Amino acid sequence: MADLIVYGTPVSPFVRKVEAILADQGEDYDFENINIMDMPDWFLDISPARRIPVLRDKSIGEKGAAGTIADSSAICAYLDRKFEAGLYGASAFDTGRAVWLEEYADTELAQPVGMQLFRPILFPRMAGKKSDIETAKKTWNEILPKHFDYLEGALDGNNFFVGGRFSIADIAVGVQMTQLDLATGTPNAAKWPALVRHTEAMKLRPGFAENLVNCKKILDRFIPEKVDLT
């Protein structure tokens, strides 16, 4: 039994952020699934915003809210400090850039990726209905390209977003891009070469790879093949 417990589902990109750090650092942790459609009362007590993930560090507290931290950004900052992972930039400016890109990915990018593409494709299928392909197509063709352009520019041909090294920015953007990949694939590599290369590289990192295997086990029966949105 590990000291750390991650509460959530692997399919959440915000849970993937946390797993990406833990597995990359080679840290043991237990995983407890939470059904977001019907969150148990004990979970709501430790997740005031009614969101996953929540982390428990049993070395701090084993019961109730003691030892728990809600929100992926807070959890990632905690894990970085606890394991001295160095994910927040080598200089003050790099810290600012990394946290900005994390924030951008968690809000500006996550909204269309999650609410306007992943959910319209997957959630109806989970209920035995047809995907809302029209909404997903509009998101893919009209909303996401400006985000891809911004991220391609932020990479500027590099392998990492900030300071030439792996940071929380790579994790936060990578979890959203892999969410897209699970639902429909990566964007056009001819238009966004650095971004697609970055996504493919993130997928190979241990933290992402283990999480994505578990996602595919859950999702494959709902997406028998990739959906073409072009």
Ligand X SMILES: N[C@@H](CCC(=O)N[C@@H](CS)C(=O)NCC(=O)O)C(=O)O
- Where along the sequence are the contacts to ligand X (CB under 6 A)? 12, 14, 36, 50-53, 71-73, 106
In the bound state with ligand X, the residue whose beta carbon lies nearer, of 24 and 106, is 106
Scored b (16 or more CB within 10 A) or e, 94-126 reads bbebbbebbebbbeebbebbbebbbbbbbeeee
Q: Measured from the CB of residue 30, what is the shortest distance to ligand X in angstroms? A: 19
Residue among 71, 215, 184, 72 nearest 121 (CA) = 184
Q: Measured from the CB of residue 165, what is the shortest distance to ligand X in angstroms? A: 23
Q: Measured from the CB of residue 185, what is the shortest distance to ligand X in angstroms? A: 20
In the bound state with ligand X, the residue whose beta carbon lies nearer, of 1 and 49, is 49
In the bound state with ligand X, the residue whose beta carbon lies nearer, of 6 and 194, is 6
Residue 152 CA to residue 71 CA, distance in Å, equals 27
Q: Which tokens in the block code for residue 73?
A: 């950004």
Q: How far is CA 55 from CA 40, 71, 127, in A?
A: 16, 8, 29
In the bound state with ligand X, the residue whose beta carbon lies nearer, of 197 and 214, is 214
- Enclosing H/E stretch for 37: none
In the bound state with ligand X, the residue whose beta carbon lies nearer, of 115 and 189, is 115
Residue 36 CA to residue 94 CA, distance in Å, equals 35
In the bound state with ligand X, the residue whose beta carbon lies nearer, of 106 and 170, is 106
In the bound state with ligand X, the residue whose beta carbon lies nearer, of 43 and 192, is 43
Q: Which residue in the block uniquely carries the two structure tokens 């030439």?
A: 164
Q: Measured from the CB of residue 164, what is the shortest distance to ligand X in angstroms? A: 26
Q: Measured from the CB of residue 182, what is the shortest distance to ligand X in angstroms? A: 12
Residue 181 CA to residue 187 CA, distance in Å, equals 8
Q: Which tokens in the block code for residue 31?
A: 């995983």
Q: Measured from the CB of residue 91, what is the shortest distance to ligand X in angstroms? A: 25
Q: How far is CA 79 from CA 18, 29, 48, 134, in A?
A: 8, 12, 20, 40
Residue 36 CA to residue 38 CA, distance in Å, equals 5
Q: Measured from the CB of residue 119, what is the shortest distance to ligand X in angstroms? A: 9
